[in-house]
Amino acid sequence: MSLIGEAEMVHRKSTRSVPSYSAALLTLGAAAIHFAAAPGHFSEYLPYGIFFILLGAAQVALAVGLIVKPSRRLYALALLGTLAVIGLWLMSRTTGLPIAPRPWRPEEIAFPDFAATLLEAIACVLFACRVRRPSARRRGVVRVVLRTLPAGLFAPLLAFGGVGGALTPMPAAFNAAPFVAGQTSISLVNLVAPDGTQPLKEFTLTASQITVGGHKAWAYNGTVPGPELRVEQGDRVRVTLVNHLPDATSIHWHGINVPDAMDGVAGITQNAVPPGGTFTYEFIADQAGTYWYHSHQDAMNQIPDGLVGSIVVEPKDASKSRIRDYSVLVHAQPGSDAIEVNGTSSLRLDAGPGDTVRLRITNGAVPGLDLSPLTPVLVGAPYVVAALDGHDLNGPQELGPERIPLGMGQRADLMFTMPETGAVRLLGLKRVMFPWNSPSTPVVTIGDGPAPASVNVASLPRFDFTRYGTPAPDAVADAGQYDVTREIILGGGIAFRNGNVDFTDTFSGKTSPNIPPIRVREGQLVRLRVVNRGDHGLHPIHIHGHVFTVLAKNGHPLTGSPVHTDTVLVGPHETWDVAFKADNPGIWMLHCHILEHAAAGMSMTINYDGVSTPFTMGSRSGNVPE
Ligand code: C2O
Ligand code: CU
């Protein structure tokens, strides 16, 4: 062989591309995720399912080609094709695609998206290198193995996460109580307020995006919180929600036992109201008390963004008694770590010496990082805790300054007489975010004159409603026998859920929507035992459409007043027994009111026999109640 011939051979060899095992592995990882995502996409939208299968197949073919017959052209093709896939993905997540179940609507990013795109992006870098330097030298086996090692570890890991996430997508359409052919059931849309001649109180709540203090906020009628709705017991309340937000929304009447179709839970009792849409809620306010309203679509985001407000149902004879009656809603300041009361950090309320004041405190703020409840403290006058969650306590005793624990969603009504001189204050409205950056705490001042001497809030006793007030007969507590019982063990852990690897929060080891509903018939008495064996975690467990009678804490029955609440706060190593009468047919939520926990799985339903819902939760309807 001539020298020239040999040189030619070397040259030819060096122009042949060498395989990039790393790029092939990364591409295979992305293919695995696309295959895993296909079933979910098939049920969502047929063309998507087909696309994912074809894309996965193309990526497998590419990976094989890259190993068996690498060439500069193939690398160039791989680069262009993969960039196109990334581009398509970016478009679907930013502007939306023209071919989609909902055209031109951006989709949410879940972990599998992120994993597949990252794998593809790194592969693109490797493709580009091979396109630029096709004549890379062949290397020994050891060096090839070493060079492939990073991708060999990284690609399977990311693919594992992506495949796990893709195999557990957010359900496309989950129905909490489907209509079953052959069974008699009524749709909950028929469960509305009966006709009648009650005095009508009409309101319109227009939800829109505003700016407060430089932050984006979502507001009812342009304010955070929304307007206080004040009605009288027995009124017919009609509220029209007008949605001017860029997203769908709904309104839930927290604590008011409305007819099921009016409960405002997107995906269970209605479809979320789309941008531009309206929905009219109507119910008879037959229970007096302190309640609040808030979005129940994407509540985890829409509540902190500002979609909250107070609703007070005054007792029938209220106008006769001359009471200074104020609702005091503690809520997040949109876009910041701070909390506010009725939209300000220093609320002033009018009251003169000798006036009787009723302060209706609602905790509508997501707790801080320590998850601890809000602990308002009233200083400057002795007071009674007149009601919890809107329900009066029997024979409440006068108290000095105490911390009154309120989990998110809970309310306490404090009543007191204004002193002859000086103001009364509500302190302790603290939310701990980061130890190095705790936002200032709002203060409520009632009346004029010198402020009361300040107290060391942390050293004060904690109010304990289990031995407060005076015992009285109570139909549910005294029943002693229950038709339906359920134990709910609060827990959690890391798992794949809704397409992500995430912390989950569980009821008896399961996450929504896979928690079997509590099945009841009208008239039954139902007892729940809520158990928190953990060292941390405070879970305000909230029931819709019904009121709990609190039976016992850690096995000890209450010794004071009967206590009726819609939310029971379950702290570490606590067990609470609560019971309710099934007297409001429908499909009702039972969930932790820390909405991150509800969204992470702590949410289930109470299903009445013979009631079905036409609504579904999940990606297809876009109904996401939590
Ligand atoms: Cu205040 Cu289901 O919520
Ligand atoms: Cu919780």
Verify whether ligand 1 is closer than 6 Å to residue 294 (CB atom): yes
Can you give the pLDDT at residue 501?
A: 80
Ligand 2 geometric centre to CA of 406 (Å): 14
Can you give the pLDDT at residue 438?
A: 67
Task: Copy the structure tokens of residue 623.
Answer: 């109904």
Please classify residue 5 by burial: count the beta carbons closer than 10 Å to its beta carbon, then call 0-12 exposed, 13-18 middle and 19+ buried.
exposed
Where does the pLDDT of residue 320 fall: very low under 50, low under 70, confident under 90, or very high at 90 and above?
low
The single-letter code of the amino acid at 152 is G
Q: Rounded distance, CA 15 to CA 559, Å?
A: 88
**Mean pLDDT across the chain:** 92
Can you give the pLDDT at residue 435?
A: 66
Verify whether ligand 1 is closer than 6 Å to residue 589 (CB atom): yes
Verify whether ligand 1 is closer than 6 Å to residue 34 (CB atom): no
Can you give the pLDDT at residue 172?
A: 81
Residues 334-367 have pLDDT tens digits of 988 889 999 999 999 999 999 999 999 999 999 9
Do 483 and 526 form a contact (C-beta atoms < 8 A)?
yes
Buried-state track 487-523, b at ≥16 Cβ within 10 A, e below 16: ebebbbeebbbbbbbbebbbbeeebbbebebbebeee
Within 10 angstroms of residue 211's Cβ, the number of other Cβ atoms is 11
Closest listed ligand to the CA of 250: 1
Q: Which of 30-39, 81-90, 97-106, 588-597 has the lowest mean pLDDT?
A: 97-106
- Report the nearest atom of ligand 1 relative to the CA of 409: 1
Closest listed ligand to the CA of 595: 2
Give the CA distances from residue 215 to residues 38, 145, 210, 407, in Å, rounded to whole numbers and listed in that order: 39, 52, 8, 26
Average pLDDT of 503-518?
A: 95
Where does the pLDDT of residue 8 fall: very low under 50, low under 70, confident under 90, or very high at 90 and above?
very low
Nearest CA to ligand 1 atom 1: 254
479-482, long-range: CB < 8 A, 24+ apart: 479/525, 479/579, 481/525, 482/525, 482/526, 482/527, 482/579
Closest listed ligand to the CA of 269: 1
Can you give the pLDDT at residue 591?
A: 98
Task: Copy the structure tokens of residue 519.
Answer: 């099945």
More confident residue, 425 or 499: 425
Ligand 2 geometric centre to CA of 362 (Å): 18
- Report the nearest atom of ligand 1 relative to the CA of 255: 1
Q: Could you tell me the sign of the dihedral formed by the alpha carbons of 577, 581, 584, 587, in that order?
A: positive
Closest listed ligand to the CA of 488: 2
Q: Could you tell me the sign of the dihedral formed by the alpha carbons of 62, 63, 69, 72, in that order?
A: positive
Task: Copy the structure tokens of residue 454.
Answer: 């300040």
Verify whether ligand 1 is closer than 6 Å to residue 411 (CB atom): no
- The three-state secondary structure class of 531 is strand
Nearest CA to ligand 1 atom 3: 254
pLDDT value at 18 more than 90: no
Residues 380-439 have pLDDT tens digits of 999 999 999 999 999 999 999 999 999 999 999 999 999 999 999 999 898 877 766 667
Give the CA distances from residue 169 to residues 41, 113, 299, 601, in Å, rounded to whole numbers and listed in that order: 9, 12, 20, 14
Residues 323-337 have pLDDT tens digits of 899 999 999 999 888
Average pLDDT of 47-58?
A: 94
More confident residue, 275 or 5: 275
Residues 529-568 have pLDDT tens digits of 999 998 878 999 999 999 999 999 999 999 999 999 999 9
Where does the pLDDT of residue 480 fall: very low under 50, low under 70, confident under 90, or very high at 90 and above?
confident
- Report the nearest atom of ligand 1 relative to the CA of 254: 1
Residues 165-208 have pLDDT tens digits of 888 887 888 999 999 888 888 999 999 999 999 999 999 999 99
Ligand 1 geometric centre to CA of 544 (Å): 7
Residues 250-296 have pLDDT tens digits of 999 999 999 999 999 999 999 999 999 999 999 999 999 999 999 99
Ligand 2 geometric centre to CA of 364 (Å): 15
- Report the nearest atom of ligand 1 relative to the CA of 292: 1
The single-letter code of the amino acid at 494 is I
Average pLDDT of 576-585?
A: 98
Verify whether ligand 1 is closer than 6 Å to residue 331 (CB atom): no
Identify which of 414, 530, 529 has the alpha carbon closest to the alpha carbon of residue 468. Answer: 414
Can you give the pLDDT at residue 13?
A: 47
- The three-state secondary structure class of 441 is coil
More confident residue, 111 or 293: 293
Ligand 2 geometric centre to CA of 500 (Å): 19
Within 10 angstroms of residue 179's Cβ, the number of other Cβ atoms is 13
- Report the nearest atom of ligand 1 relative to the CA of 625: 2
